[in-house]
Copies of this chain bind each other. A is one copy, B any other.
Amino acid sequence: MLKAVIDLGSNSVRLVVYQQGPHGTQKEVDNLKQVVRLSNHINREGRISDEGIRITVHVLRQFKQLCEAYEVEEVICVATQAVRIAKNREELVERIYRETGIPVRILSGEEEARYGYLAVVNTIPLEEALTVDVGGGSTEITYFKDRKVLEKISIPYGGVNATKEFLQGDPPTSKEMKRLERTLLTELEKYPWTAGRRCPVIGMGGAARTIAKIHQAQRQYPLSILHAYQMWPYEVTGILELLLSTPLTKRKEMGGLSADRADIIIAGAAILDLVVRRAEANQFILSNKGLRDGILMEEVLKAKNEELLSDMLLHSIENNLDHFHMNRAHAWRVACFSERLFTAMKEAGIHAFGKEELKWLKTAALLHDVGRSISIYDASKHTFYLLLHAPLYGVTHRERVLIAAIASYKSTKQVSTELSRYEEFLHEEDLPLVIQLGVLLRFVRTLDRTETGDIKEIEFIGGEKGGTIRVRAAEDSFLQMELASEWVKKLSKAYHRDFSLEVNRDGIRE
């Protein structure tokens, strides 16, 4: 069953079409954005002009057409600041309903803020943070602690209306910037909790995304992932200063900045920068998930009967297993036996890895086969590519690189080559770590090479210097055991220990 969410914002109207999957999962099948700049169509009396109404209805008819093509069953359409403040908002809502059949729900500033919070708190693993979502006509800020939202506000300035009201210069003058900052500060000072929080600030929305994109372009970031991208607070200020020293025509050519946002980006960046500075943030994190995702998340949580996702990483792993049509039983067997061997080897003193490393190993174990969806040839290479690009929440970019390398491990030669482009993420001890966990995973994978669950139990008997991996298996599992015995040799080499493999079949020891 397909559903759609439409976000009728002050700068743009966005549509996302998604499909509900079998495991409380969801898959986005299409999305579309049209720039409407509704805030620019609000006249002096605070009414959306006829032209504004006409364009909005026109775009929604287009979206409706796409929804019909997909045979979407339910369309959820929400409107934010521009509609919220318009005196004739009821007229707009009526016209839209009459001409497209789409019911529009006007969100209050607090509801809007709450959806942003929902998107963030279920995709970024933080207990405490400020979120800031700079829209076209308003900015929503929330504060959450222990993943519970404690404060949520909306202030009536966003990229489009702040540009219109304050920033005429090209580039804006420092006088204009000061006036904007004073006005924003007056708004923020109504909420003392926005000051001195010293926690991370999470930025959402187009302006935040653009700041992160420009920063990535400047430093030639080797990953093309935006979500959960981390910056130092002073780097946000740095990008604002760069934008302020660049006239509009040059901004349009700037890497990471799309031409249709070049005019309003300075106001957006200034709002973000001010929130970050006032909060005395210790970190700036980009969330590529926002309002629409919060609305989707609310549906997912309802279906799962949870208030918040209890395990966002697992949820996104499930999404990927569905998306790439993986054999779930095989994936879980490999993850489960990998964990057992990891734990038994740790107890024996073979390695000193902790919870983090186990998380990486299990994630890699669950997703090791995704590359096969592209081709069985070079499947490792494809797994590496997919794990660097698939949506995976609850891990940092560095962790993603490690997980991708562990999951796609074939040989030391191959993994060193794959990782060479990502050296900036790696510590000195990471290569041996990837090799040790990668070999362990390969060994366990071969035990279920036929994906028939012939392996029943795994034990490790030995001590610090090595020992025996004892496996109980089905009678005819000789293919797996023969392949596994090759990997036991590599396991010995990777851990500088002596391991041997003992197979018990139906109670008979070989």
Residues of A within 8 A of B (CB): 28-31, 58, 61-63, 65-66, 69, 224, 255, 373-378, 381-382, 385-386, 389-391, 413, 449-452, 476-479, 482
Given contact pairs A224-B381, A389-B382, A478 touches B65 in the complex (Cβ within 8 A): yes
Contact indicator B29/A376 (Cβ below 8 Å)? yes
Contact indicator A479/B382 (Cβ below 8 Å)? no
Which residues of chain B are within 8 angstroms of A382 by Cβ–Cβ distance?
389
Which residues of chain B are within 8 angstroms of A65 by Cβ–Cβ distance?
450, 476-479
Give chain B nearest CB distance to A461 CB in angstroms. Answer: 27
Contact indicator A66/B389 (Cβ below 8 Å)? no
Distance in angstroms between the alpha carbons of A58 and B224 in the assembled complex? 47
Contact indicator B66/A450 (Cβ below 8 Å)? yes
Contact indicator B375/A62 (Cβ below 8 Å)? no
A391 and chain B: residue at smallest CB distance: B375
Give chain B nearest CB distance to A482 CB in angstroms. Answer: 6
**10 sampled A-B residue pairs with Cβ under 8 A:** A28-B377, A65-B450, A65-B476, A65-B478, A66-B449, A69-B450, A69-B452, A374-B386, A377-B391, A378-B389
Which residues of chain B are within 8 angstroms of A386 by Cβ–Cβ distance?
374
Which residues of chain B are within 8 angstroms of A452 by Cβ–Cβ distance?
69
Given contact pairs A66-B479, A377-B391, enumerate 4 new A-B contacts (beta carbons under 8 Å): A58-B478, A65-B476, A255-B413, A382-B389
Number of copies: 2
A323 and chain B: residue at smallest CB distance: B375
Given contact pairs A62-B479, A449-B66, A476-B65, A376 touches B413 in the complex (Cβ within 8 A): no
Give chain B nearest CB distance to A413 CB in angstroms. Answer: 7
Distance in angstroms between the alpha carbons of A373 and B325 in the assembled complex? 11
Distance in angstroms between the alpha carbons of A62 and B480 in the assembled complex? 8
A16 and chain B: residue at smallest CB distance: B376
Most chain B C-beta atoms within 10 Å of own C-beta, residue among A62, A373, A478: A62
Most chain B C-beta atoms within 10 Å of own C-beta, residue among A63, A450, A452, A478: A450
Distance in angstroms between the alpha carbons of A477 and B62 in the assembled complex? 8
A382 and chain B: residue at smallest CB distance: B389
Give chain B nearest CB distance to A510 CB in angstroms. Answer: 14
Distance in angstroms between the alpha carbons of A451 and B378 in the assembled complex? 32
Q: Can you list the 4 inter-chain pairs with the closest CB atoms, starting with the nearest?
A: A62-B479, A69-B450, A69-B452, A65-B479
Contact indicator B28/A61 (Cβ below 8 Å)? no
Contact indicator A390/B376 (Cβ below 8 Å)? no
Contact of A62 among B28, B391, B482 (CB under 8 A): B482
A255 and chain B: residue at smallest CB distance: B413
Which residues of chain B are within 8 angstroms of A28 by Cβ–Cβ distance?
375-377
Distance in angstroms between the alpha carbons of A390 and B382 in the assembled complex? 11
Distance in angstroms between the alpha carbons of A477 and B64 in the assembled complex? 11
Contact indicator B381/A478 (Cβ below 8 Å)? no
Distance in angstroms between the alpha carbons of A452 and B28 in the assembled complex? 19
Which residues of chain B are within 8 angstroms of A449 by Cβ–Cβ distance?
66
A61 and chain B: residue at smallest CB distance: B478
Distance in angstroms between the alpha carbons of A66 and B386 in the assembled complex? 26
Most chain B C-beta atoms within 10 Å of own C-beta, residue among A66, A255, A477: A66
Which residues of chain B are within 8 angstroms of A391 by Cβ–Cβ distance?
375, 377
Given contact pairs A65-B450, A450-B65, A224 touches B378 in the complex (Cβ within 8 A): yes
Distance in angstroms between the alpha carbons of A391 and B376 in the assembled complex? 11
Given contact pairs A374-B386, A413-B255, A478 touches B69 in the complex (Cβ within 8 A): no
Which residues of chain B are within 8 angstroms of A451 by Cβ–Cβ distance?
69
Give chain B nearest CB distance to A346 CB in angstroms. Answer: 31
Contact indicator B255/A376 (Cβ below 8 Å)? no
Give chain B nearest CB distance to A28 CB in angstroms. Answer: 6
Contact indicator B62/A478 (Cβ below 8 Å)? yes
Distance in angstroms between the alpha carbons of A272 and B254 in the assembled complex? 52
